[in-house]
Chain A
Amino acid sequence: DAGITQSPRHKVTETGTPVTLRCHQTENHRYMYWYRQDPGHGLRLIHYSYGVKDTDKGEVSDGYSVSRSKTEDFLLTLESATSSQTSVYFCAISSSLNTDTQYFGPGTRLTVL
């Protein structure tokens, strides 16, 4: 497996609370991505980063923010969690030499009650 970890791996929280998910890589890859995966919708891109402090929105970015202060870390924050954000969240990375090939982290299962 590519050196990608996600924390926490499981989280249960209540509506209205802030939540931060962390993605950490040891591959020194330039690009990092946050996806959510829901039944019937597949993988959908939330936000991505193309370098330190350089981020952009994906197709389902409402309600989410990200930060990347170091190459190895990409944080996803739900400012005020809602039940519709219950999902499995995957982080992925790719290098600038081969941006097509994305390697995925193990995922975080988030439940918002």
Chain B
Amino acid sequence: QKEVEQNSGPLSVPEGAIASLNCTYSDRGSQSFFWYRQYSGKSPELIMSIYSNGDKEDGRFTAQLNKASQYVSLLIRDSQPSDSATYLCAEPTGGGNKLTFGTGTQLKVEL
């Protein structure tokens, strides 16, 4: 069974710094990953997807996939207090129409 692991945190960073969130996975055949953001008391929302080795940038967010080392990371540049949330990584399972989620990393951006 596929496993996706994340450090639960909390990860605290000062405002304006780069926040680095990491996720490791067990399936060497995994081809794609997704990052969801979940504010306290709210539902998860997709913020990034990455389908190939390397980096993908979208605004202040960069997703990095390293298949050789089996990890995927999310970098948030110029962190803002509004980025304070739990970040979940997920990978497709069961032929691609299901997702396996990590337990999430709580990020706190401090003023």
Give 11 new A-B contacts, CB below 8 A, not counting A43-B101, A100-B49: A33-B98, A42-B101, A42-B102, A42-B104, A43-B44, A44-B101, A90-B44, A100-B92, A100-B96, A102-B99, A104-B45
Assuming the A-B contacts A100-B92, A104-B43, are A41 and B98 also in contact, with contact meaning beta carbons closer than 8 angstroms in the complex?
Answer: no
Judged by a CB distance under 8 angstroms, whether A94 is at the interface is: yes
Chain A contacts with B in 85-113, Cβ cutoff 8 A:
90, 94, 99-107
- For chain A, the count of residues having a C-beta within 8 Å of the partner chain is 23
Residues of B within 8 A of A101 (CB): 34, 46, 49
Residues of A within 8 A of B (CB): 31, 33, 40-45, 48, 50, 58-59, 90, 94, 99-107
Q: Does B103 contact A (CB under 8 A)?
A: yes
**Which range holds the interface residue count of chain B?**
20 to 34
B88 at the interface (CB under 8 A from A): yes
Q: Which residue of B lies closest to A31 (CB)?
A: B97
Q: Which residue of B34, B43, B49, B104 is within 8 Å of A90 (Cβ)?
A: B43
B32 contacts the other chain (Cβ, under 8 Å)?
Answer: yes
B interface vs A, CB < 8 Å? 1, 8, 32, 34, 42-46, 49, 88, 92, 96-99, 101-104
A109–B8 Cα distance when bound, in Å, is: 22
Partner of A99, one of B8, B42, B45, B97: B97
Chain B residues within an 8 Å CB radius of A105: 43
The listed residue (A31, A44, A50, A104) touching B44 by CB distance below 8 A is A104
Contacts of B101 in A (CB 8 A): 42-44
Q: Please judge, given known A-B contacts A100-B34, A100-B96, whether A43 and B46 are in contact too, CB under 8 Å.
A: no
Asked whether, in the complex, the Cβ of A48 is within 8 Å of the Cβ of B98, the reply is yes
User: What are 30 A-B residue pairs whose CB atoms fall within 8 Å in the complex?
Assistant: A31-B97, A33-B98, A40-B8, A40-B103, A41-B103, A42-B101, A42-B104, A43-B44, A43-B101, A44-B101, A45-B98, A48-B98, A50-B97, A58-B98, A59-B1, A90-B43, A94-B97, A99-B96, A99-B97, A100-B49, A100-B92, A101-B46, A102-B99, A103-B46, A104-B43, A104-B45, A105-B43, A106-B42, A107-B42, A107-B43
